[in-house]
Structure 1
Amino acid sequence: MIKFFSVLCFALVFNLNAVTAQNFSTHQVKKGETINGIAMRYGVGISDIYALNPDAKKELKANTILIIPISKATKPTVTTTKELQGFKEHRTSKKETLYSIAKRYDVTEDEIKKHNIFLYANTLQKGDKLQIPVFKITKEEPKAATKVYLVKAKEGKWRIAYKFGITVQELEDLNPGMGETLQEGQQIYVPNIGGDAVKEVDEKYSYYNVLPKEGFYRLKLKLGLEQDELEALNPELKNTGLKEGMVLKIPYTNNMNVAGETISKKSHLETKITNFDTKHIAVMLPFRLNRVDFDSITDIKSSIKKDPYLDASLDFYTGVLTALDSLRILGVSLKVDVYDTKYQVSEVIKIINENNFKDVDAVIGPLTTETFDKVATELRQYNIPVISPIGTNLTLYDNVFQSRPSDDLLKDRMVNFIKADSLEKNIVVVSDTKNEAVANSIKTMFSYAKSVYSRKGKTGNDLNFLYVEDIRSTLKPGRNYVFLETQSEGFASNVVSILASLNSSSTEIILVTSNFNAAFEGDQVSNDHLSKLQLHFATASKSYSDTESNSFVKRYTQTYSTTPSKRAVKGFDLTMDVVLRLASAKDLYMSVNSAPLTEYVENKFAYKKKLMGGYYNDATYIVKYKDLEIVEVK
């Protein structure tokens, strides 16, 4: 044992002497440091550190001692430039050589020959007259890898990291003792890059700190930005790719702070009215009054029943009128124009040509895609915002506001909700043939998910049913999330009944869907079963509670002797939001920044701007069936 200890001590001494002789140093790893930051600090390559510290490849533990090859640190050479200023005449004396003359005048032999070309063919002789070049010599010293930087007022780590093109972690690696909060005037080390490479923080944008394991796909779900859009704002991404801790410039939004955490603070615009100028809005709906039989009340009611567009328009418009009454009480001055689009593009063109829209602050509607697109296109030249009440697949021109969240966004929110459940879970996706593509897209989000499809007939047609064993075999003890993707009421009824029978204390089944539709609300589907299975889904709007004291519901019921439909509530919520945004900001576009999130009776609005286009509503609800009611999941 003593012998072994002596040999070990000798080896350690020998190695330390060898390290010293070869100009090596040591570094004690601090908590949170990265190999990249350490390499940057000492000006050496990561591979050079790994070569001497192979265990660091597996894990970089705090307090580990690393050997740093200082001799391999990058040492830029001094750059010397020579600028010809003129010549000196020199007459060669006896015993002088070209070498001695070059040394005397601090030039090279080649430089002498260049200006005395006869020397290329002849040897130097006594009495030769030479033109000796005279140079202005400029030496440029190499830049240090880092430099001292003075922290400015209200400047945090992420701002400095963004300015110098490094991650927050790399900034901390350069300054181990910098502390959590920076103080104005504090001296820290930053990369010594050229002034042109330093980026300034533009307050017109927001900034996002990339989290661990975040790729472009996750950022698309969280930020709503494609990879090419992120690269357009952050060109360095094309070379470096995404790195944990790097700070990205993104379109302005108050919904996201630099750490990437959603801010759920709502703006109550009723208390923030500052613009008391008269607001001018237009409402365009497909009433199709030219088709209504006005001979009697009975005929009018019959016309409404026969025409779904008239029915929908009247419902929505009653909500608009109730909102206008509420806005009048708040002291907002309004001019409102109402137009019947008749569900015709030609009528929309006629309305725009025959009326002056230049002083209109915003247009609500039309309801249908073709007529809406035409209005948005025509009014784009005046930069007039046009808000769609129900459209989801619109062309997002820069003046378009899509108030209804897209189906893809609802699906992504439901998927992310389940991913956020930290409990161990089993995922099953049940679908019919028509929804096979949706089912496959959900499976890509959960690689371990199992698929179950509707039974098929001899010709390959869906029979719209399953056997109990088809589902039982896919379930596991514990928590099971089962996606049901269908528009068939019969298939929904069959699957829901089977799942309800299999749900137990040992095998918990939570039913979810990426597309809540009429199939789940049909008479064949038991609400008792949906409540038992806690059906979860993402939705653009929640249902108001009858037990809550709601001034809108009370006023609407008194006026129209009936409770408001969802279309009436949307008319109220959207009109309130548009006008209050106009009354609390310079215009609707600026309100996106000043009022990031608003919420009313059943709908909330958090508009985000596409990089090269208009605005879409990013606000959704997650709701579930509970005790025969649909309630919001907090």
Structure 2
Amino acid sequence: MNCFLRTILLIGLFFGTLNLVHSQTTPIELSKNKVVVGGKSYILHVVKEKQTLFSISKAYGISMRDIMSVNGKAEATVSINEVLRIPFNEEKQAVAPVILKKEDEKFIYHIVKKDDTLYSLSKKYAVGMDLIEKENPGSRQSLPLNSVVKIPKIQQQKDHKVSNVPQHDKKYYYYVIKAGDTQYSIAKEFRMKQKKLRKLNPKLKNRILKPGDWVRIPRYLVPPEYFIVKETPKDTIAEELIVLDTIQEVEKEEVIAKTKVNVGLFLPLYLETNDTINQIITYKDTIEIVTEREPRTIYRKSREFIRFYQGVLLAVDSLRKEGLSVDLHVYDTERDPEKLRRTLSQIQFMDFDYWIGPVYPKTFAVAAEYARRKNVPIISPLSAKNPQINSNPNVIQLNTSMNSICRQISNYVSEDFQYKNIVIIHPERYKHLNEAKLIKDIEHQLFEKGLYWQTDEVSYKKISFDEYGLYGMEAMMCDSCENVVVLPLNDQPKVENMITNLNVLSQRYAIRLVGFSRWQRYTSLEADRFYNLNFSLFSPYFIDYKEEKINDFVIDFRNRFMSEPSDFSFRAYDICRYFSLAASKFGKDFPERMNELDIELLQSAYYFKRVSAFGGFENQGTHLINYSRDYKIRHQVFKPKEKEPEENETVDLLEKSFGL
């Protein structure tokens, strides 16, 4: 099986030429992707536009000659998207530049540290972002660690006093004017038109604002980090108290129930088919000669499930390092219920802590019934529709159902409804759709619970796109508030048509589009449209490639399997780790106590609820993902409420999640 699971990591090298012009280089973002080749460590760097071999060598502190030698280059040229191997020395640490002068008459010289942004430097030194960018071209796009930023010195009037700035409220953010700010720079910073800025702040028409004055900005246009206030430590005198003759209570760690768990993994690997297609049969004097194809090919239906299996293997390795032994039993189910029945009859006397899979409905139904009789927890890793969950208490469904997603979206829309214009855009015939439950849930929240009547600062509208089209949608929009637009459908052509038209309206109106995670897979929808429409969605899965744990997993996966992990690989890793630790800690009762387990996952959000008194568990933990207008993707793990809120009690989900 080992030779079957081997695949080859191919790094494409594209040939092209970039001129070596020092003055046209852009800031280099250092890569964290490391590989080991022939016992030597290398960093893989992907060449971006306007980067040169000179600028790359300077960024990594490696000579051009060494980079050329490692990559077999005869000339000092690179191509866009070319992957370079950069020699890496574990003992060599990146050193910040030595600055002889921290400041002079014109500038303060700041060394970039982790989490520094153009905005944070603007706030720290009370200098407009435009002025900093003017002296440091490209700083708005990126600020490389340990690079030096020149901060212009602005002469401030000593007798100047800061005006009283109002507290931010649900409708407005109050921006304090800094030296160098202009109407144009403020409007550009918050992605709004100057005309709208002047309309919200009439004082801009009559006088020029000075540092310390303030203007109000619609809250929905302001990124969440603007609301974060860093507290400056105050000078305090620490008083040391020494208490004698006391006994400190030491919390006892919970005893691990088991140090070994048995796991059954049922996947359609199609091993026999893979062996068959990799055999070459020839004849010599009527004698059949069987040779193996080189390189081996993989049957297309088993590719993703091999990636799933590889993710499980990495999880088993990580658990072993933590002291937990996982006895993994892998069974090839293909897509054949009869083959699965034969397999189950052979393992009927084995004792399992839990099963993962099968993945197809017909085979899962067979295994779920057997797991119910044997009282074995069985995990459905991929499907969001398992009829067995309603009557089988052993079933654990990881994909959140459409009903639960609709409920979460309706809560999200209706719990922050003040100063909003809620617009439902639907096809002419929609009541038969599963997603139509979303409309019922929103109307239930607003009208049957009475939220709509509690304030005059909300509007609710509903329109058929098929009947009224673009002009009908525009008639529903509000100029002076945010338009929360909900599309309750997943039909690809209709969704693409509606989003295309909404993208046109986003040039004039502030729109927050709310929908489903499936839309992200529609290849004809460009990401720019999601950013323009401030798209928000709920999904059980989210991978943030900026996180160190994700990069570590990718590197481990490459080193182990010589290939790239897929979405299934991340998912399998989370499943195996989470449920193995749960079975180890809580024993046979782990399904009832799964929510007590607090471990860091790669892409999943877990929070389980039993669907009925006699049914199984559904995962209702999700990520609230937002494609923001400032071209950033933000996410927040979202868990359902344990109980309904009291009357007049509302939870400002937007504010908690994104600071909006």
So what's the TM-score if we normalise by structure 1? 0.51
Tell me how far 1:416 sits from its aligned partner. Answer: 0.4
Matches of residues 220-235 of structure 1 in structure 2 within 5 Å?
A: none
Would the alpha carbon gap of residues 483 and 597 (structure 1) be closer, same or farther in structure 2, given more than 3 Å must change?
farther
Tell me how far 1:510 sits from its aligned partner. Answer: 0.4
Counterpart position of 2:463: 452
Counterpart position of 1:482: 485
Answer yes or no: is the 8 Å Cα contact 1:581–1:588 preserved in 2: no
Out of 380, 398, 410, the residue aligned to residue 403 of structure 1 is: 398
Paired letter, 1:470: G
Would the alpha carbon gap of residues 412 and 621 (structure 1) be closer, same or farther in structure 2, given more than 3 Å must change?
same
Counterpart position of 1:541: 541
Q: Give the Cα–Cα distance (whole angstroms) in 2 for the partners of residues 500 and 590 of structure 1.
A: 45
* Identity, % of aligned positions: 21
Counterpart position of 2:614: 612
Answer yes or no: is the 8 Å Cα contact 1:273–1:583 preserved in 2: no
Q: Secondary structure at the match of 2:512?
A: strand
Counterpart position of 1:522: 522
Would the alpha carbon gap of residues 563 and 272 (structure 1) be closer, same or farther in structure 2, given more than 3 Å must change?
farther
Matches of residues 234-313 of structure 1 in structure 2 within 5 Å?
A: 274-292=256-274, 293-295=277-279, 300-301=296-297, 303-305=298-300, 307=301, 310-313=302-305
Q: Give the Cα–Cα distance (whole angstroms) in 2 for the partners of residues 435 and 297 of structure 1.
A: 52
Answer yes or no: is the 8 Å Cα contact 1:428–1:481 preserved in 2: yes
Counterpart position of 1:321: 313
Matches of residues 166-181 of structure 1 in structure 2 within 5 Å?
A: none
Tell me how far 1:520 sits from its aligned partner. Answer: 4.3
> Is 1:625 the counterpart of 2:627 in the alignment?
yes
Counterpart position of 2:513: 511
Paired letter, 2:273: R
Q: Give the Cα–Cα distance (whole angstroms) in 2 for the partners of residues 467 and 373 of structure 1.
A: 44
Q: Secondary structure at the match of 1:473?
A: helix
Paired letter, 1:450: K
Q: Give the Cα–Cα distance (whole angstroms) in 2 for the partners of residues 574 and 313 of structure 1.
A: 14
Counterpart position of 2:438: 442
Q: Secondary structure at the match of 1:510?
A: strand
Q: Secondary structure at the match of 1:455?
A: helix
Answer yes or no: is the 8 Å Cα contact 1:585–1:594 preserved in 2: no
Counterpart position of 1:158: none
Q: Give the Cα–Cα distance (whole angstroms) in 2 for the partners of residues 555 and 434 of structure 1.
A: 49
Would the alpha carbon gap of residues 429 and 312 (structure 1) be closer, same or farther in structure 2, given more than 3 Å must change?
same
Q: Secondary structure at the match of 1:587?
A: helix
Would the alpha carbon gap of residues 405 and 442 (structure 1) be closer, same or farther in structure 2, given more than 3 Å must change?
closer
Matches of residues 91-490 of structure 1 in structure 2 within 5 Å?
A: 274-292=256-274, 293-295=277-279, 300-301=296-297, 303-305=298-300, 307=301, 310-394=302-386, 395-396=388-389, 397-432=392-427, 435-438=430-433, 440-444=436-440, 445-446=442-443, 449-455=460-466, 467-477=469-479, 478-490=481-493
Residues 225-274 of structure 1 deviation map (CA, whole Å, 9 limit, x = unaligned): xxxxxxxxxxxxxxxxxxxxxxxxxxxxxxxxxxxxxxxxxxxxxx9671
Q: Give the Cα–Cα distance (whole angstroms) in 2 for the partners of residues 283 and 616 of structure 1.
A: 20
What CA RMSD, in Å, does the superposition of the two structures yield over aligned residues? 2.6
Tell me how far 1:312 sits from its aligned partner. Answer: 2.5
Q: Give the Cα–Cα distance (whole angstroms) in 2 for the partners of residues 300 and 434 of structure 1.
A: 50
Q: Give the Cα–Cα distance (whole angstroms) in 2 for the partners of residues 437 and 598 of structure 1.
A: 40
Tell me how far 1:489 sits from its aligned partner. Answer: 3.9
Would the alpha carbon gap of residues 413 and 331 (structure 1) be closer, same or farther in structure 2, given more than 3 Å must change?
same
Tell me how far 1:629 sits from its aligned partner. Answer: 5.2
Matches of residues 61-72 of structure 1 in structure 2 within 5 Å?
A: none
Matches of residues 17-56 of structure 1 in structure 2 within 5 Å?
A: none
Tell me how far 1:589 sits from its aligned partner. Answer: 3.1
Stretches of structure 1 lacking an aligned partner (at least 5 in a row)? 1-270, 457-465
Q: Give the Cα–Cα distance (whole angstroms) in 2 for the partners of residues 450 and 369 of structure 1.
A: 39
Paired letter, 1:559: R
Q: Give the Cα–Cα distance (whole angstroms) in 1 for the partners of residues 273 and 430 of structure 2.
A: 38
Q: Give the Cα–Cα distance (whole angstroms) in 2 for the partners of residues 452 and 351 of structure 1.
A: 54
Answer yes or no: is the 8 Å Cα contact 2:353–2:377 preserved in 1: yes
Q: Give the Cα–Cα distance (whole angstroms) in 2 for the partners of residues 561 and 546 of structure 1.
A: 22
> Is 1:532 the counterpart of 2:532 in the alignment?
yes
Task: Give 1 or 2 for the bigger CA radius of gyration.
Answer: 1
Counterpart position of 2:123: none
Answer yes or no: is the 8 Å Cα contact 2:439–2:488 preserved in 1: no
Q: Give the Cα–Cα distance (whole angstroms) in 2 for the partners of residues 473 and 528 of structure 1.
A: 24
Paired letter, 2:324: V
Answer yes or no: is the 8 Å Cα contact 2:409–2:438 preserved in 1: no
Tell me how far 1:504 sits from its aligned partner. Answer: 5.5
Q: Give the Cα–Cα distance (whole angstroms) in 1 for the partners of residues 558 and 296 of structure 2.
A: 22
Tell me how far 1:630 sits from its aligned partner. Answer: 3.7
Would the alpha carbon gap of residues 489 and 379 (structure 1) be closer, same or farther in structure 2, given more than 3 Å must change?
closer
Tell me how far 1:317 sits from its aligned partner. Answer: 0.7
Q: Give the Cα–Cα distance (whole angstroms) in 2 for the partners of residues 583 and 510 of structure 1.
A: 44
Answer yes or no: is the 8 Å Cα contact 1:286–1:342 preserved in 2: yes
Q: Give the Cα–Cα distance (whole angstroms) in 2 for the partners of residues 298 and 451 of structure 1.
A: 60
Paired letter, 2:462: S
Would the alpha carbon gap of residues 316 and 623 (structure 1) be closer, same or farther in structure 2, given more than 3 Å must change?
same
Residues 501-521 of structure 1 deviation map (CA, whole Å, 9 limit, x = unaligned): 32257x3210011x332x543
Paired letter, 2:561: Y
Answer yes or no: is the 8 Å Cα contact 2:483–2:511 preserved in 1: yes
Q: Give the Cα–Cα distance (whole angstroms) in 2 for the partners of residues 561 and 386 of structure 1.
A: 31
Q: Give the Cα–Cα distance (whole angstroms) in 2 for the partners of residues 272 and 622 of structure 1.
A: 32
Answer yes or no: is the 8 Å Cα contact 1:578–1:588 preserved in 2: no
Tell me how far 1:593 sits from its aligned partner. Answer: 5.7
Answer yes or no: is the 8 Å Cα contact 1:281–1:337 preserved in 2: yes
Answer yes or no: is the 8 Å Cα contact 2:406–2:437 preserved in 1: no
Residues 314-360 of structure 1 deviation map (CA, whole Å, 9 limit, x = unaligned): 12111111101111111112211100011111111101111244411
> Is 1:577 the counterpart of 2:578 in the alignment?
yes
Residues 105-155 of structure 1 deviation map (CA, whole Å, 9 limit, x = unaligned): xxxxxxxxxxxxxxxxxxxxxxxxxxxxxxxxxxxxxxxxxxxxxxxxxxx
Matches of residues 491-502 of structure 1 in structure 2 within 5 Å?
A: 491-502=494-505
Paired letter, 1:443: I
What is the number of residues matched between the two proteins? 348
Stretches of structure 2 lacking an aligned partner (at least 5 in a row)? 1-252, 280-291, 448-458, 637-656
Q: Secondary structure at the match of 2:425?
A: strand
Paired letter, 2:418: L
Tell me how far 1:282 sits from its aligned partner. Answer: 0.7
Tell me how far 1:299 sits from its aligned partner. Answer: 7.9
Q: Give the Cα–Cα distance (whole angstroms) in 1 for the partners of residues 464 and 561 of structure 2.
A: 47
Q: Give the Cα–Cα distance (whole angstroms) in 1 for the partners of residues 632 and 569 of structure 2.
A: 21
Would the alpha carbon gap of residues 379 and 593 (structure 1) be closer, same or farther in structure 2, given more than 3 Å must change?
closer
Would the alpha carbon gap of residues 430 and 422 (structure 1) be closer, same or farther in structure 2, given more than 3 Å must change?
closer
Q: Secondary structure at the match of 2:358?
A: coil
Would the alpha carbon gap of residues 531 and 272 (structure 1) be closer, same or farther in structure 2, given more than 3 Å must change?
farther
Between 589-598 and 569-578, the greater mean CA deviation after superposition: 589-598
Q: Give the Cα–Cα distance (whole angstroms) in 1 for the partners of residues 547 and 623 of structure 2.
A: 20
Counterpart position of 2:587: 586
Tell me how far 1:413 sits from its aligned partner. Answer: 0.7
Would the alpha carbon gap of residues 480 and 323 (structure 1) be closer, same or farther in structure 2, given more than 3 Å must change?
same
Tell me how far 1:573 sits from its aligned partner. Answer: 0.4
